[in-house]
Amino acid sequence: MSTLPRINFTHTGTFCADLDTMVEFYCSKLGFIVSDKGVASTGHRLFFMTQNPEVHHQLVLFDGKPVDLPFNPINQLSFLLDSLEDLQRYYQFAKANGIGPIDQVDHGNAWSMYFKDPEGNPIEMYVDAPYYTNQPCREPLDLEQSSEQIKAQTLAMCQRRPGFQTREQWMETIAQRIVEQRVRA
C-alpha cells in the first residue's frame, strides 16, 4: 500500500468512578447533551455525549473506574476515516503488517475496527454510516465484503432495530436538542 488514508482524531472514551456526577458535569458545565446511553457488551453503563449535530459522540463516559487502585481510565482512542473503502484499506494494511487481533464491528451508525497499540491502549478506526440506530449496537462486520454488501446489511439491520433514522434525520434532532440545552444554560 503506497499511501494510507487520512485519519482524524474524533473522540475518546473514559471510565468514571461516579458516572452520574460526570454526566451531570459535562452536560451542565460544558454544554454537552446525551446523544445515546445504554449498557456496553462488557456490562458497563455508558453515555454518548456531543455538542456537534454532525457527530454522534465526542465523548463516551463509562462506569467502572476503581477509586482505590491505579487504573488507566482511557477506554479507547478513536480515529475517523473518510470512507468505508478507506476503512477496508486500513484493515488490509493492519492484517498485512501483523496488527491484531482486529475486532470488526457494525454499530449501525458507524463501521469500526478495533485493535491495541504496543502498550495495550485500545484504538478504534471507524467511518460514519448513513444510518442511525439506538446505541450501543454491536453487530458482526466483515471488512472483506464489498462496500455495497456491507451497506445493504447495515441498512437491513438498522431498519429492524428501534429508533432507525437516516443520519440526516438524526443530525436534525440532535441539533435541536443542542439549541435547547444552550437556551436552558
Structure confidence at residue 119 (pLDDT): 67
Q: Convert the pLDDT of each residue in 29-63 to its tens digit.
A: 778 899 999 999 899 999 999 989 999 999 999 99
Q: Domain map of the chain by residue range?
A: 7-184
Q: What is the CA radius of gyration of the chain?
A: 17
Q: Could you say which of 1.10.1740.10, 3.40.630.30, 3.40.50.2300, 3.10.180.10 is the CATH number of the domain covering 7-184?
A: 3.10.180.10
Entry pTM: 0.80
Contacts for 41 with CB less than 8 Å, ≥ 6 apart: 136, 138
Q: How confident is the model at residue 138 (pLDDT cuts 50, 70, 90)?
A: very high
pLDDT value at 1 more than 60: no
